[in-house]
Amino acid sequence: MRCLLVTLEYPPFYGGVANYYGHLVQAWPPEDEIVVIDNKEGQLLAPRGKWPWRRSFATLWRTLRQSHFDFLLVGQILPLGTVVWLLSFILPIKYGVFLHGMDWGEAAARPRKMWLAKRILGRSALVIAVNSYTAELIKRAQPSVSGRVVIVNPGIDNVSPPFIAPEYLASLRQRYNLDNCSILLTVGRVVERKGVDKVLEAMSQLLPYYPKLRYIIVGDGPYLKICKELAVDLGLNEAVIFITDADDNEKAAWYQLADIFVMASRSKGSDFEGFGIVYLEANQAGKPVIAGQSGGVRDAVVDGETGLMVDPQSSEAIAQAVRRLLDDESLRRRLGETGQARLSQFLWSRQARLLRDKIKEVL
């Protein structure tokens, strides 16, 4: 079987969507073939002029006329889904459309885009939702495609955490004066909906009772300056550490050093947490997580089993969850161990085979 993935976002393009497609292709079953067309060389979007996606039409028309593919995978419902939908009236192609969450939310916010999105899905053979929350939104909006919806979550490469030298872990503790401290950790892009501000507010409530608690934020982003200013306003200077230049090895080290991982993501309009691969990375290190009730997070975190789900708008709820975990070492250990044991269902090799098998069912 030969599949063609067409996507605007693909490595080395940075971001969660590009990372998702890159890993999916890398883990694709070797007995089948998957070919990728992306926009690195401007093959899909014209740099100027009306309807920039017109170049996608030309590229795909030429590709499909020259080579045989059994199935097309569409990385973005708009605009690429429009192109494939139009081509499906001319060429005998079967296709599936990926939906991550925000893409569906943006389409749903505008009647014209929603009209078009429904027609694209209506002619599709598969609708591939990256999380169960998006799957439910699609089924409610377009019940006729419910039987074609399949959930393919993001994944991880290994169940076990990467090896980090004990000397390196000790050096990080020494560099940031963390001996005998409890460590609360957030890893990710610092944008408003990730909830770093609410965790900072929770820290101001916790410090009088846990003076050796430290909050490490690993990441950069447009909300970083505001969060730094908030930390100063709350008097958290010594208790909060921002790290903006950590490489993958250092990020892995912080997961191992942390006692609790927290990302209290919240929804902001049509933008919500699509999944939260960082929750799995924390579980991979055997750590419990605190997560905000937003979008697809419930696929990554099982409340009371692998972590604690909280109201992301409430700093009091976040503080209460942190306090509960700090006071109960056995609960921390149980949540972390259960989370790590659950990781096998998120291996990329499993996710790729799941999608491959669904495609074969509709061919």
Contact 122, 142 (CB under 8 A): yes
Would you say residue 167 has pLDDT above 90?
yes
Q: What residue spans in the chain does CATH classification 3.40.50.2000 cover?
A: 2-155+347-362, 166-345
Which of 109-113, 169-173, 327-331, 333-337 has the least mean pLDDT? 109-113
What is the mean pLDDT of the segment spanning 229-236? 96
Binning pLDDT at 50, 70 and 90, where does residue 271 land?
Answer: confident
Can you give the pLDDT at residue 9?
A: 94
Which of 101-110, 203-212, 346-355 has the least mean pLDDT? 101-110
Can you give the pLDDT at residue 54?
A: 84
Output the average pLDDT for the chain.
94
Can you give the pLDDT at residue 72?
A: 98
Of residues 54 and 284, the one with the higher pLDDT is 284
Would you say residue 53 has pLDDT above 90?
no
Element holding 354 (H helix, E strand): helix 348-362
How far apart, in Å, are the Cα atoms of 178 and each of 22, 27, 154, 281?
36, 38, 33, 22
Which residue shows structure tokens 């006729």? Answer: 144
Would you say residue 48 has pLDDT above 90?
no
- Return all residues near 123 (Cβ < 8 A) that are at least 6 apart: 85, 88, 95
Can you give the pLDDT at residue 272?
A: 81
- Enter the pTM of the model: 0.91
What is the mean pLDDT of the segment spanning 254-259? 98
Share of the chain above pLDDT 70, in %: 100
166-345: CATH topology: Rossmann fold (3.40.50)
- Quick one: which of 40, 30, 41 has its CA closest to 1? 30
Q: What is the pLDDT of residues 259-268, one digit of tens each?
A: 999 999 998 7
Q: What is the pLDDT of residues 179-200, one digit of tens each?
A: 999 999 999 999 999 999 999 9
Would you say residue 41 has pLDDT above 90?
no
Would you say residue 106 has pLDDT above 80?
yes
Can you give the pLDDT at residue 294?
A: 85
Can you give the pLDDT at residue 317?
A: 98
Q: What angle do CA 327, 330, 336 make, to 5 degrees?
A: 105
Can you give the pLDDT at residue 198?
A: 97
Can you give the pLDDT at residue 26?
A: 97
Say how many Å lie between the first and final Cα of the chain, rounded.
10
What is the mean pLDDT of the segment spanning 326-332? 97
Can you give the pLDDT at residue 233?
A: 96
Would you say residue 129 has pLDDT above 90?
yes
Q: What is the CATH number of domain 2-155+347-362?
A: 3.40.50.2000
Question: For residues 111 and 117, what is the distance between their CA atoms, to the nearest angstrom?
Answer: 10
Would you say residue 144 has pLDDT above 90?
yes
What is the mean pLDDT of the segment spanning 215-235? 96
Would you say residue 89 has pLDDT above 90?
yes
How far apart, in Å, are the Cα atoms of 228 and each of 194, 242, 266?
15, 8, 19
Please name the amino acid found at residue 249. Answer: N
Can you give the pLDDT at residue 15?
A: 81
Q: What is the pLDDT of residues 279-314, one digit of tens each?
A: 999 999 999 999 999 888 999 999 999 999 999 999
3-state DSSP call for residue 166?
helix
DSSP assignment letter at 124 = -
